[in-house]
Structure 1
Amino acid sequence: MKTYSRLFKSALATLLIIFLFYALVFEIRNNLPTEYNIQIGESHTINTTFPFFLSFDETIADIVEIKTINNEASNFLSNEIQLKSLEKGTKELRYNIFGLIPYKTVRVNVVPKTYLYPGGQSIGVRLNTEGVLIVGIAEIQDNMGVRHNLAEGNGIRIGDSLMAINGEAVENKYHVIELLQNSNGEEVKLTIKRDDKYFDTTIKPVKSVDDEKYKLGFWVRDKTAGVGTLTFFHEESKKFGALGHAITDIETGKILSVKDGEIIKSKVVSIQEGKKGRPGEIRGLFYELDKPLGKLYINSIHGIYGELINNISNNEYLKPLEIAYQHEITEGPAYILTTLDDNKVEKYSIEIVKINNQSKANTKSMIIRVTDPKLLEKTGGIVQGMSGSPIIQKGKLVGAVTHVLINDPTSGYGIFIQWMVDESGIFDKYQ
């Protein structure tokens, strides 16, 4: 009897392992999302495959109507569930193996339709950092010929930000110089920010033999500027999004912390064509500096965001476009809006080659390839300065260009527009 019991348990364990392996393969192949965003008035169909079954709480009927689709042509091992949105809200669906063993929970968000004006305009970006960024470390030689490495000796690294000296917030690099000279060589307390954490350290400045000024042994930067592309703006809130990726320091690679900044008009003056192993570049000229287009408040890994203060127009679109969520995007033809040497927003055809279903924001949501002969002739594909160019498919705004593939300038990455909308703060997330 014990033998049969052991055999039964062994067989059961083997079956469970097989089906867990099957579940893993199923998820890898189908890349199951953990969230569906369905706009009010629209439907979405979920395909399930044996041994998976969907279960849900009856309260889900508050936001969606669920219908099982009987498709005689479909495999008997598969099942289709249609979700028809009714009211704004969030509920959960659960994948269960054999309908018994919990496997994965999926959120269903019914959200209002979102309309944005697509961008494509070339913009200049000016950013002032919060505190000053430490971009280099150097020894200081005093009047006695002694060399001091104050930064390294006190745990300060390249990429840290100096936020305050003796409790006084640092405004810019000139303010740092002023505070150090006023110290008269007395020990000062530095407040340092590293990533999202703060710490204090005390250093006694050294008077340099080179210029007789007190120094701490590091170089700092407090501002940056560059050219990019506007992705969208929202008429009601006046909020905008651009670039699709962060502005980072050219030397340290660190994301710059924003104190304030602005976007301004930019005119394309030249284009360096992209080649294999060498990214191309759009070179722009800022103009109307006294009339900035908008204020910059957020510099995140998923783009830059702020509010418009002057009107901006798009010659291609006089009306806003509805956005598409990731489950609505398909592989195949699309186009981007961008500005080249004619300084006019134009459409250029691309192909969405691959879609990476994502449960959290990432700048590499999809792989795209330029197919437009005119764009390939002018730029060789995707070049620096085109980051933020909106991607449009089937009449909806689906994403933005973020990166070029170094070894293939005709191809690159794009970010889902839903991640940029979330980051912009246009609407509250649906909880």
Structure 2
Amino acid sequence: MEWNRQLKVIMMSVLMVIALPLTSISAFAANGSLIPMGNSIGIQLELSGVFVSSDVVLSDKKASLKAGDQLIGINDASITSMKTLEEQVGSLGDTDELKLTLTRQGTEVTIKTDGLLFKRSLPFLKDTTEGTGTLTYVDPEKGSYGALGHQIIDSSLNSAPDFESGSIYLSEIEQIKKSSPGKPGYKISSIIDQEDTLGSILTNSVYGIFGDWTASYKEVLTEPIEVMQPTELKVGTAQILTTIQGTEVESFTIEVSKIAEESFQFKLTDKRLLEKTGGILQGMSGSPVIQNGKFVGAVTHMFVDEPEKGAGLFLGKMTEVGK
């Protein structure tokens, strides 16, 4: 960020979802206009293999799986998914000797263990990763969307995961754990319908996630609004759209305090929002920011020691990837 690099800042997962039938709103879309969303979404990525989520000791010689390892083989069998792994495990005896082939930080590693110890490691293996956030915009002309305003980082892999495919889903906020200085709060949510996707995930970039929009939901705004140019943003009152209860998208007042070339800072000023959340929450990344009827950008970060303060990314920068 262009401002005070010494302040502690954290990315917040926040996605918005507003949905109208694409056929009914495409006529309203104009050049430089997008539909601001604000709904909470669940995110699921199908990883490009089977990965280890935590360190696991596998022998008396302290041979172990390490968080971030990719399991690529058991004995002579190739492992590409949890399904192929389960097929191999199903025929294993507890005393069977195993040779595990792993990729660890770009290097191939071999570990020997037995069936019982390996079976105990299964809860720490995965081929998917999940998260929550806020949908930022839908482009009705292109049938696409953008969300989050920052990259998805898998906490167990400590990196942006390689993935084969992904989807976003409408989610419902069930509970709020409030933010306090030094302790970011978060939303507790659940996907409403696992069979009903809002869209695919095609790109996981430093400016957010992007993909094809495939659904329609209860409208938040009836038509796209003009995207604001960075030079138009003014210090002063603006609004964010986000969800803090159920699936309802609401508008809350903020105060823009500092403006940089690609980003801006703000402070939450809405008393009801602050009473409910204590500040910005994990899961709010992607919440749209509106000023004077124009679409400014998306919430991306919070200041950990001052959770009522946050930062956002201009929509023009975010959509450079989503075009």
TM-score with structure 1 setting the length:
0.60
The answer to whether 1:332 aligns with 2:246 is no
Q: Give 1 or 2 for the bigger CA radius of gyration.
A: 1
What is the rounded CA distance, in whole Å, between the counterparts of 2:113 and 2:279 in structure 1? 51
* Residue 247 (structure 2) pairs with residue 343 (structure 1): yes
CA distance in 1: counterparts of 2:38 and 2:256, whole angstroms: 18
Name 1:126's counterpart in structure 2: 44
AA aligned opposite 1:118 = P
Q: How many residues align?
A: 293
Give 2:307's aligned amino acid. Answer: P
Counterparts in 2 of 1:267 and 1:177: CA distance versus 1, 3 Å: closer
Look up the match of 2:172: 267
User: Partner of 2:212 in structure 1?
Assistant: 307
Q: Which residue of 1 aligns with 2:307?
A: 409
What pairs up with 1:54-133 in 2 under 5 angstroms? 113-133=31-51
Contact 1:271 1:280 in 2 (8 A): yes
Inter-CA distance 391–219: structure 2 relative to 1 (3 Å threshold): same
Distance 1:179 1:200 in 2: 24
- Asked whether 1:149 is paired with 2:63, we answer yes
Q: List per-residue Cα deviations over 1:73-128 (Å, max 9, x = no partner).
A: xxxxxxxxxxxxxxxxxxxxxxxxxxxxxxxxxxxxxxx94211001112122222
List per-residue Cα deviations over 1:269-293 (Å, max 9, x = no partner). Answer: 2222221122122221221222111
What is the rounded CA distance, in whole Å, between the counterparts of 1:168 and 1:255 in structure 2? 27
Aligned-pair distance for 1:376?
Answer: 1.4
The alpha-carbon deviation at position 174 of structure 1 amounts to 4.6
Letter of the aligned partner of 1:407 in structure 2? D
In structure 2, relative to structure 1, the CA distance for the partners of 1:131 and 1:409 (3 Å cut) is same
Distance in structure 1 (CA, Å) of the matches to 2:118 and 2:77: 20
Q: 1:368 aligned to 248, 252, 266, which one?
A: 266
Q: 1:418 to 1:407 in 2, by over 3 A?
A: same
In structure 1, how many angstroms separate the alpha carbons of the residues matched to 2:120 and 2:270?
54
Q: TM-score, normalised by structure 2?
A: 0.78
Which residue of 2 is the match for residue 321 of structure 1?
225
Task: Name the SS of the counterpart of 1:205 in structure 2.
Answer: strand
Shift of 1:338: 0.8
Q: Distance in 2 between matches of 1:182 and 1:160?
A: 23
Task: Sort the Cα spacing of 1:176 and 1:409 in 2 relative to 1 into closer, same or farther, 3 A.
Answer: same
Distance 1:345 1:267 in 2: 11
Which residue identity is paired with 2:45? L
Q: Which amino acid aligns with 2:46?
A: N
1:215 and 1:284, CA in 2 relative to 1: closer, same or farther beyond 3 A? closer
1:420 Cα shift? 1.8
Label 1:173 to 1:271 Cα distance change in 2 as closer, same or farther (>3 A): same
Alpha carbons of structure 1 residues 336 and 180: separation in structure 2 relative to 1, 3 Å: same
Label 1:355 to 1:179 Cα distance change in 2 as closer, same or farther (>3 A).
farther
- CA positional deviation for 1:407: 1.2
Paired with 1:239 and 1:380, the residues of 2 have a C-alpha distance of: 33
CA shift, 1:186, in A, is 7.2
Residue by residue over 1:313-347, the C-alpha shift from the partner in whole angstroms, topping out at 9 and shown as x without a partner, is 432x2111121233333322211111122532121
Aligned to 1:171: 80
Equivalent AA in structure 2 for residue 149 of structure 1: A
Superimposed CA distance per residue, residues 142-163 of structure 1 (whole angstroms, 9 cap, x where no aligned partner): xxxx424255xxxxx5334456
Distance 1:407 1:186, change over 3 A: closer
Q: Decide which of 153, 178, 186 is 1:248's aligned counterpart.
A: 153
> Which amino acid in structure 2 is aligned with residue 237 of structure 1?
K
Match of 1:386 in 2: 284
Partner of 1:41: none
The two structures, once aligned, show a CA RMSD in angstroms of 3.2
CA separation of 1:204 and 1:268: change in aligned 2, threshold 3 A: closer
Q: Report which structure shows greater RCO (CA 8 Å, sep ≥6).
A: 2
